[in-house]
Chain A
Amino acid sequence: MSAIPPQSKKSLIAGIVQEKIYNLLQQGKRLDGRSPVDLRPITITTGIVEKADGSSLVSLGKTKILVGIKTEIGTPYPDRPKEGSFTVNAELLPLASIGFEPGPPDERGVELARVVDRSIRESKAIDLEKLCLIEGEKAYILFIDIYVLDYDGNYYDPSVIAALAALVTAKIPKYEVVGGKVQKTGEYFNLKLQKLPFTTTFGLIRGKFLVDPQLEEEAALDVSIIIGVDQEGNIVSIQKNSPGLIPETILEQLIEIAQEKTNAIRNKFCEALNIVI
């Protein structure tokens, strides 16, 4: 059963704020001075947790996301004996918002983790076959753990950025197969990502849309949707993540803007991490 957990009820918003957000949007403006299609500033820092194999701290405006990656050796899934695997978890830390309660991840945290997981998995960003050591027996398992540290709206887009930043800069302990057994070599290797998928979050208010909603806007939205796109323009993930109606006729336009915005994020990402694609 999926009931609304008490803490995920839409935060109450004053009627005049909702009205103001809509009026501004009609004039192509927003509360923080952005245009409807402007993202907030992005900063990317990597390698901040030495005990993690890869780590990053990404901020999108005032929203801050911390991601760390740990590697373990495990058994490949029976249906994919030649592949390593990865798992994404996400926690909305109570430090981040008065609306986040301490406790095990609720449905919002699980949804965030799964949206990030799908964007990475379906775009085939990670070459999982390279993570297999002994077919059907031993393979690398990557744990990608996301923590929302400061929450001012839209944790989806920066979580994908942070997960990819941690993956791209990760130094994974290298194992080798000796006499049918795996052992640590003491060396490290880099994951070479095959794709860089990013997402764009859209909010709709009475048919008008905006990207990257900030906290107050989020509370005023009728409905929101996240669209993930890889560098070739393929759509790699979609999540309508709130109740409400999305006019079918607007989707085409949202996808076009998602392609544009994810390109902008990708350029910023590559510039920040010195990556050539």
Chain B
Amino acid sequence: MPLYFSEREIVLPGQLLSDNGNRGGEGTYVLGGMVYASRLGFATLRNNKVHVIAFKGAYIPQPGDRVIGIVIDVKPNGFDISLGRHLTATIRIPDKKEVQALNLKIGDVIYANVRESGLRGVYIDHTGRIKKITSGLLVSMHPLKIPRLIGKRGSMINMIKKESGCELIVGRNGLIVIDGPSPANEFAALSAIRMIDREAHSQGLTERIRILIKNILEGEKSVEG
């Protein structure tokens, strides 16, 4: 069963990847027993299936995802939450007292779990797991690049936290809150996020980001000193 790509090759919609129609994975389609790419991204073989890891694309919520959202409407039985410019989620609570107890108003930022996502819409879990975020720098990046920001077993995100001295809350939907001791620390973390957003699919990124943060913070010191 030949493959028509090398590992991590950039592939384009319509590109032939395999002549075994059983091996079609994410970002592919099968036509006439052959597997083709349906999206622009990296081709990769995982568990004997051909996948295309897209560079860009819409965030599709999955139950259990941790997301950051902004309250955009307050209703008697819950809230509407913006998960970015393309997507709204809903919090529905049968008990009105519970709604009031959450004490959320329009413009508040929350960190919460996706409970359900499907044809009926996206619903946020309200059972005691909504955290209100009251300060920090709210930024966005391409949702598909969030796994790169986190890195293998959290290697990237932990390094950014350590080097920049900031706390980072990461929403799977592409929203991130940076909270640091000074604007300079927050800018350093923000620059790291911007670099990942631009170059997520390149290799050796962790080390370059470490250097980037160091340079920014040292540059700041020398200016102040």
Q: Which residues of A contact B (CB under 8 A)?
A: 12-20, 24, 27, 29, 31, 33, 98
Contact = CB atoms under 8 A, between A and B. Distances in A.
A20 B182 CA distance: 12
B47 to A, nearest CB: 37
Contact of A27 (B133, B177, B183): B183
B200 to A, nearest CB: 20
Nearest to A12: B72
B183 A24 contact: yes
Nearest to A29: B183
Given A12-B72, A14-B109, A98-B85, 12 more contacts: A12-B82, A14-B70, A14-B138, A15-B108, A16-B133, A16-B135, A17-B138, A18-B107, A20-B135, A20-B138, A27-B183, A98-B86
20 contacts: A12-B72, A12-B82, A12-B106, A13-B107, A14-B70, A14-B107, A14-B108, A14-B109, A15-B109, A16-B109, A16-B134, A16-B136, A17-B138, A20-B135, A20-B137, A24-B183, A29-B183, A31-B137, A33-B187, A98-B85
Given A17-B138, A20-B137, A12 B70 contact: yes
A12 B183 contact: no
Contacts of A98: 85-86
Contacts of A19: 135
**Main SS of chain B's interface residues?**
mixed
A18 B108 CA distance: 11
Q: Which of B109, B177, B183 has the most A CB atoms < 10 Å from its CB?
A: B183
Contacts, number: 35
A97 B136 CA distance: 26
A15 B85 contact: no
Q: Which of A13, A17, A27 has the most B CB atoms < 10 Å from its CB?
A: A17
Interface of B: 70, 72, 82, 85-86, 106-109, 133-138, 177, 183, 187
A18 B133 CA distance: 14
The 9 closest A-B pairs by CB, nearest first: A15-B107, A14-B70, A14-B109, A17-B138, A29-B183, A16-B109, A14-B138, A20-B137, A98-B85
Contacts of B133: 16
A20 B109 contact: no
Contact of A12 (B107, B134, B136, B137): B107
A20 B136 contact: yes
A16 B72 contact: no
A15 B105 CA distance: 10
A33 B137 CA distance: 13
Contacts of A17: 138
Nearest to A98: B85
Contacts of B187: 33
A11 to B, nearest CB: 9
B143 to A, nearest CB: 15
Contacts of B107: 12-15, 18
A177 B109 CA distance: 68
B183 A16 contact: no
A16 B139 CA distance: 11
Contacts of A16: 109, 133-136, 138, 177
Contacts of B183: 24, 27, 29
A218 to B, nearest CB: 15
Nearest to B137: A20
Nearest to A97: B85
Contacts of B137: 20, 31
Contacts of A15: 107-109
Nearest to B133: A16
A14 B133 CA distance: 10
Q: Which of A15, A18, A27 has the most B CB atoms < 10 Å from its CB?
A: A15
Nearest to A28: B183
A219 to B, nearest CB: 11
Nearest to B190: A31
A27 B187 CA distance: 14
A17 B137 CA distance: 7
A110 to B, nearest CB: 25
A6 to B, nearest CB: 14
Nearest to B73: A12
B43 to A, nearest CB: 30
A56 to B, nearest CB: 28
A12 B138 CA distance: 14
Contacts of A13: 107
Nearest to B177: A16
B83 to A, nearest CB: 12
Nearest to A18: B107
A130 to B, nearest CB: 48
